[in-house]
Amino acid sequence: VQLVESGGGSVQAGGSLRLSCTVSGYTSSPYCMGWFRQGPKKEREAVAVIASIGDTIYADSVKGRFFISKDNAMNTLYLQMNSLKPEDTGMYYCAAKVCSALPARFHMDSMDYRYWGQGTQVTVSS
């Protein structure tokens, strides 16, 4: 499985960006997918996850501002980011794993994800 992110960039606070993650090499197994980020001097954290059963979950810090979605026909995962804040700055990674039919809240641990993209940088200036 190969993941390739795009859509990062520099934006002023309050602006929006949409990240995309193109996926190839899928098997027929059910997959969970998520967006993770790592800010300066911070550990990698889950931003948003979409489970194989379709439900989603967000980090508290991005609820109401970020939205994860998946286009199965295009094999693409998206992250719409609105009302961006300087603390959203970081490298954003797309990740995937074969997963059970549990809700998204069980799939927030980055250590459980096997497949990762190379990351795309998001910089938000005040």
Predicted pLDDT of residue 43: 94
- Written in H, E and C, the secondary structure of the chain is CEEEEECCEEEECCCCEEEEEEEECCCCCCEEEEEEEECCCCCCEEEEEECCCCCEEECHHHCCCEEEEEECCCCEEEEEECCCCHHHCEEEEEEEEECCCCCHHHCCCHHHCCEECCCEEEEEEC
* Mean pLDDT value of segment 39-50: 95
Per-residue pLDDT tens for 52-62?
989 999 999 99
**CA pseudo-torsion sign 9, 73, 53, 26:** negative
* Mean pLDDT value of segment 109-122: 96
Question: How many C-beta neighbours within 10 Å does residue 23 have?
Answer: 21
Per-residue pLDDT tens for 4-19?
999 999 999 999 999 9
* Mean pLDDT value of segment 71-95: 95
* Mean pLDDT value of segment 95-108: 92
